[in-house]
Structure 1
Amino acid sequence: MSRTPMALLSPADQERLRSLRRMKAVALGALLFMAVLFVVSFWLESRHPWLGYVRAAAEGGMVGALADWFAVTALFRRPLGLPIPHTAIIPNRKDEIGRTLGEFVETNFLAADVVRDKLSRTALSQRLGEWLRVPAHAERVTAEASTAATAVLHALSDDDVQGLIADLAREHLIEPDWAPTAGGWLQRIVEADAHRSAVDLAVDSIGSWLDSNAAAFQGLISRRLPSWVPRLAHRFVDETAYAEAVKFVRAVQADPRHPARLAIDGYLARLADGLQHDPAMRSRLEGAKTSLFDSPRVGELAAQLWNTAKSGLLTALADPRSGLRVRASQAVAEIGDRLATEPALQARVDGWVTDAAVFLVDRYRHDIASIITDTVEKWDPAETTEKIELMVGRDLQYIRLNGTVVGALAGLAIYAVAHALIPGV
């Protein structure tokens, strides 16, 4: 039956082929048995009239076996190679069968209501959660994800990634005009007095530094005095400068309306206005930004950061005991635990999955079903016949066997009824 060598068939197909051959042998054996029984009974019927019933049964069995052999064979090929009409149905109507099968699947299995009904009765998220909450399963998911991420990182070209980063930076950071946006933000910060905390922090930091670094003022000013000024004056000048600095900082800390604070407020307000409306200031900011990003040092730093991040990721992904892998496994297990125990979350996730599946089926069900049609159309007619016969041929041989039995019973019944109703037969 099979044109494909046994060694090229899958183990499952090899077993199907053996079963098909056994059933063909059984069906043929039943036909031969009926033929032998017919010859013997026909030969001895004149001496033993009761063998007429055996002959009739054998004759009917042969007719039934031959008729069903013809019917089964006609599905797959021409019986005895004869060009009989309406035979070799599967190879001759292969494409039509594929289209019909695709339409059947599309109509009865890929309908939105069928998919929604099936998924609504399936606790998808709960089952997934029960599986993911098991630590071994969470580690398996993490390991598979790590393998995939490692493959992606190895596949990425460093030059391509750096080029992509540079293109994205230029598109989203360099080409846009920063000045108006920065000026607008700064204006809102000043108007809301949100900069006060930053000014307080700066003043407090200066005050703390002065308290801890009085010695730094020794010689800070006096070394610039003429050499003929007495040493005592040098010390007096330095101490006075330090005392005035401390006094100034304390005054700024104590007075919210100190002129220094007001000067800072005025400067920030002017800066915000200039960034939004002064072309010269905006041009200086954009020039500084472009010079910064176009600096070779910045490019080298970006390349170093990518190489360091990539190396670190690869090392962490390869080590099952790394912090990244451990935390990822814990996160997956926690997600599984929530999915398994929180009905509200289950309902949301099931709803998302169902809606997504229904949308995909509704939108692409014809394309999905066309896979069947296109695949069958590409099959060779002989290959199609072989595949289908391997799948259903064994069951069809039972039709031949049943035809033999039913034919024998029918022949016996007809012969008995004829003898009973027609005198002299």
Structure 2
Amino acid sequence: MAVHVINEARRCLQCKKPLCRLAGCPAQTNIPEMIRLFLAGKSREAGAMLFANNPMSVVCSLVCDHEAQCEGHCIQGRKGSPVQISSIEHYISDAYLDWAVLEREPAKHQQVAVIGSGPAGITVAVRLAQQGYDITIFERKDKIGGMMRYGIPEFRLPKSILERYQTKLQALGIQIRPNTTIGEALHLDDLFADGFDAVFIGSGAWKARRLNVKGESLGNVAYAVDYLQNPEVYELGDRVAVIGAGNSAMDVARTAVRMGSQHVTIYCRGQKARASQREIDYTLADGVEIEYGLGVAELTPDGPLFRERTFDEEGHVTSEGEPALYPADTTIIAASQTTKSKIVNTTTGLDLNDKGLIAVHGNGETSRAGVFSGGDVVLGPWNVIQTVKNSKLVAEAMDRYLTAKRQG
């Protein structure tokens, strides 16, 4: 792997206007500088730069849609293959995660509660802890990682990476309280009553979106967000139908294949999938079939009923056929997620927008003073790198708020 990565790094042209960074990376990772330091034998400096810009760098190197982002904007890709930036970033950031000794500024003696330990919660927790704030993460599950752990399969993101993150969080002095759901025994008001100066809500989007068709409560039907959390407990059978078009649908299908199902098919209502091309390619390579232009009409014990759709040149649906059975032992619905409402329902003064997400203004400020929010609970289901970009801005806003509170 090292020889491959070095050869790829040597292909970088060190563009004066690096589109890989300026147009391709939502977090504005300084890719040319990363490669320059790496080739100069300064991998640790490169890793430190990556982590300072994006604490989730090693995760992003594995799960980002690189073809549409950094690698998709590499100038080398215009006449040949782009530089495999993701491989270089992973090589550097994976090693740095073990090397890193994260430093804290002098203690500011202010407490911050971080609800959720997904990419949003980890990003905010790390940045504020390094600035000297006392951080407690409240995680409703037994392990950290949020959707990274419970929504991305092991073959895409090894769970061992998240264990290493937990070690770094604890070394920074961050306290982690697992198996604690804010909105049940403890409410947001309790956090402020116990002396927390600010709260960040990064609880994610864990509630499956319904198709709103007959049959969703049947015993042979499951939602992707539930299945991916613990696929071992499901008996899917040999023939599996997956309804959806995004990366989640691809993850479900590839997981089902690995769990022993022989015939797995993804059904998309549109003419193309929303998933990244790389994930589609791997899904097809795993033997999964993908069928397009099928609108679900009903779910039955024998499989879903679909209507075949026809489209005009602009992609608009012009007609739908009669429902037809597509036999399956199990149907899994991968039609996105939305947020759960426990925190909102138990908190006064916290507004939602028309999509049911937490309403924010500025950089994460909610309608309640001292409460900030970011990630999927604000943006809707999104990718890790966009969540990091958002969470960095929220952390800066929280620092400004806490500084004013401390000085005022």
Q: Which has the higher contact order (CA 8 A, sep 6+)?
A: 1
Q: One fold, TM greater than 0.5?
A: no
- Which is strand-richer, 1 or 2? 2
Give the TM-score range, shorter chain: under 0.3
Q: Which has the larger radius of gyration?
A: 1
TM-score under structure 1 length normalisation: 0.15
